[in-house]
Amino acid sequence: MTLSTAVAPHLFWLVSSAAGIAALVLSSAAVCVGLLMGGRLLTRRGPDARVLHEALSLATLVALAVHGLTLIGDAWLHPSLAEVALPFLGSYRTVWTSIGIVAFWMLALLGLSYYFRGRIGVRRWRSLHRLTALAWLMGIVHSLGDGTDAGQLWFLAMTAIVTIPPLVLLVVRHLRPAASRREGVLREKPAIRTSRSPAGAQS
């Protein structure tokens, strides 16, 4: 009875906090799988990886929805639906909360756009989908700035464990195209010389 009495007033807050942590873990895993697929680093690509990526992305959106909506029932914070859904309306840590709200809508729109990629155009959709990494980074900033456990060692350790691998993959993904472009330039230069040499010999 004592435990239930102590937890009851904070139940919605605790559920929201747990859902937020779950969303951070799920989104980090989704970004990780997506980067492995896009960077052709998975040895076993195909439907299995795509299904896993899709499942993690949808689970992230569900966890984020629970994270925000359960706060409406919190007796202390008691935000309105508009304050939960729209940035810069709430009074509680407005900047950090707004970053999280914007990140949610970015993830929702970019994630659900997968089902409309035929209409959007695959090339255009892939370009837009790269913004998912930005939304994920904004979510990390939100959790570190707005989370009630952000100062706890266990939370910082958990955040590092789930975010460092995709961060490393993100850096590798952005470095590889630059390296590929440099290699392409180096391959083209000898070809230019060899194409000019016969002309020089004839003159």
What integer pLDDT is reported at residue 84 of this predicted model?
95
Per-residue pLDDT tens over the stretch 153-171: 999 999 999 999 999 999 9
Per-residue pLDDT tens over the stretch 72-99: 999 888 899 999 999 999 988 999 999 9
Per-residue pLDDT tens over the stretch 118-139: 999 999 999 999 999 999 999 9
Model confidence pTM above 0.85? no
What integer pLDDT is reported at residue 148 of this predicted model?
81
Per-residue pLDDT tens over the stretch 34-55: 998 876 666 555 568 889 999 9
- Give the DSSP letter string of the chain: -HHHHHHGGGHHHHHHHHHHHHHHHHHHHHHHHHHHHHTT--SS-SHHHHHHHHHHHHHHHHHHHHHHHGGGG-TTT---HHHHHSTT--SSSHHHHHHHHHHHHHHHHHHHGGGGHHHH-HHHHHHHHTHHHHHHHHHHHHHHHH-TTTTSHHHHHHHHHHHHHHHHHHHHHHHHHHHHHHHHHHHHHHHHHHHHHHHHHH-
Q: How far is CA 76 from CA 9, 13, 45, 83, 155, in A?
A: 9, 9, 48, 14, 23
What integer pLDDT is reported at residue 170 of this predicted model?
92
153 Cβ neighbours under 8 A, 6+ residues apart: none
* Domain boundaries, given as residue ranges, for the chain: 2-190
pLDDT higher at 177 or 181: 177
pLDDT higher at 9 or 12: 12
Q: How far is CA 51 from CA 30, 55, 72, 102, in A?
A: 11, 6, 33, 26
